[in-house]
Structure 1
């Protein structure tokens, strides 16, 4: 039996693949899976005989049928056009984030009907589904009101996943992930990419620009914690899930100023001096519309976890990528 990861060749997909393999070695993989299929535009960088790559466009029906077959017990749907890219290219975002998501759900529905075993799905959504005037800490059942193309299309995806789950076509879990920081590698098209860039680049001796006010609140998670929560989400019994499958995954509320203070404590004054303020209205219009804190007590009760503090998040990056 296998788990499929769309976007499996990316940073988060690769990390998730490695963690699932570790769980398989220990006999504790979700749904007792013993293999992984990565569906992405490039092969998975993880070199393991249990990992199979299906390379191509998620919207290609033939590729979907190759990737998701009768051996599929679960799917992680990570692939998406990110926030900045969605705002710049509406049609591409619609094709990938909405049309391809529905094609994926239809393929899972067909497999479930053929096998009598609806596959589990973890759909990675975003706090961008929220917008408008919000309280200091967003409660669990706060209504979605996206202020961006990315948020709107993620909200559509959430509605589809919830309806396919309600109908019994699949067993979905909607994980609204915090912004992940610190991501290794190069900046991506996410409007929140700076949340890694203002730390990663200075820690590597490279200048970086901060595009938002220092008082901007961010809801953040380290990569390690985000992956641990994705693995956990797949294995939660359906009876323990809310009727509405949307879940605000735990993070920590940190201002940009506090992030820069953590950078200085961990990386020193020279690293902090490499960050300069260059306001970017395009980034502010997106990121500053997102909530910065959530009530996640029930999610913690379901076994999800959060980082202890942001200094530790920065140290994780140093330990994993610079040591």
Structure 2
């Protein structure tokens, strides 16, 4: 049953209920582990963690709080009604169809990346979750076309992919709902994340991890793009820390735009391969095969590679020092 805003505020108490969509995914699982390590958010102890994905997500082991995992298709009508009725304090909205898949199937991308996001916002609006902090993971793909050499948060959004378009539309909705006081939203635009563990996926940026991960693991990898291509990248560790920090920063501190580009670093594919050689030797570098893929190259080349990050730094977001730190973080976690 829906309660009014006053009742909502009165019942928040000192505990914290966090909802994560896309919780079974790469970032979702890392965020869950990090939440379990800290066990509090905004100075409040974490009392309940609700994990949503199409498959049941793995909850934290030996957590000091209640963890509930639900297998749901968030694109289905009313799929989030029950979990929103529980009135979470913080929502990390990570569920998405990745770039290449969204480009290959427009209907699927629209349904998951945009329609489900709008349904989530409408669910919060209907329940008057005015103080619920909603953090959505967006992407560098919201930019594209003819761009200046160096971008900032106020550079116009001209995405050149369906994925980027769907993310940009969701950003605008979150900004407008926040402007109206219907939610307390914030959007974090993620750089290309490297080095991801596991295997290559359907994301156009998947190669950026595989050309490092596989050779360092003694396997071959394919580089489908020119080596002079510049990428704006960030390590998984720093992205997760940024998501958590995004929930701590007061919404008003974001100013007129609730969207923010995270502080990545710029590196060329050639630079990435040189660092690969430094850590894995010539034999690791030789495991990378160069096989141009015009489709992948066109998508990735539309993403800008250089940003000015003063706004993110002013709000306390931190990035990696250099690409060596990114590779070292992967090697540390790999063990």
* 1:112–1:119 Cα contact (<8 Å) kept: no
Among residues 138, 156, 164, which one is paired with 2:151 in the alignment?
Answer: 138
Partner of 1:105: 121
Compared with structure 1, are the counterparts of its residues 232 and 47 closer, same or farther at alpha carbon in structure 2 (3 Å cutoff)?
Answer: closer
Matches within 5 A, 1:126-165: 126-165=139-178
Partner of 2:294: 281
* 1:80–1:96 Cα contact (<8 Å) kept: yes
CA deviation after TM superposition for structure 1 residue 111, in Å: 2.5
Determine whether 1:205 maps to 2:206: no
CA deviation after TM superposition for structure 1 residue 183, in Å: 0.2
Q: Where in structure 1 are there 5+ consecutive unaligned residues?
A: none
Partner of 1:7: 22
Secondary structure at the counterpart of residue 112 of structure 1:
coil
Give the root-mean-square deviation of aligned CA atoms: 1.3
Determine whether 1:22 maps to 2:34: no
Among residues 281, 286, 298, which one is paired with 1:268 in the alignment?
Answer: 281
Alpha-carbon distance in 2 for matches of 1:248, 1:168: 23
Matches within 5 A, 1:1-323: 1-24=16-39, 28-30=40-42, 32=44, 33-48=46-61, 50-112=66-128, 117-321=130-334, 323=335
Alpha-carbon distance in 2 for matches of 1:156, 1:10: 22
Alpha-carbon distance in 2 for matches of 1:140, 1:244: 9
CA deviation after TM superposition for structure 1 residue 62, in Å: 4.2
CA deviation after TM superposition for structure 1 residue 31, in Å: 6.4
Secondary structure at the counterpart of residue 68 of structure 1:
helix
CA deviation after TM superposition for structure 1 residue 125, in Å: 0.7
* 1:111–1:118 Cα contact (<8 Å) kept: no
State the TM-score, normalized to the length of structure 2.
0.91
* 1:5–1:76 Cα contact (<8 Å) kept: yes
Alpha-carbon distance in 2 for matches of 1:30, 1:90: 38
Post-superposition, which runs of at least 4 consecutive aligned residues in structure 1 deviate over 6 A? none
User: Which has the larger displacement, 77-86 or 32-41?
Assistant: 32-41
Q: Where in structure 2 are there 5+ consecutive unaligned residues?
A: 1-15
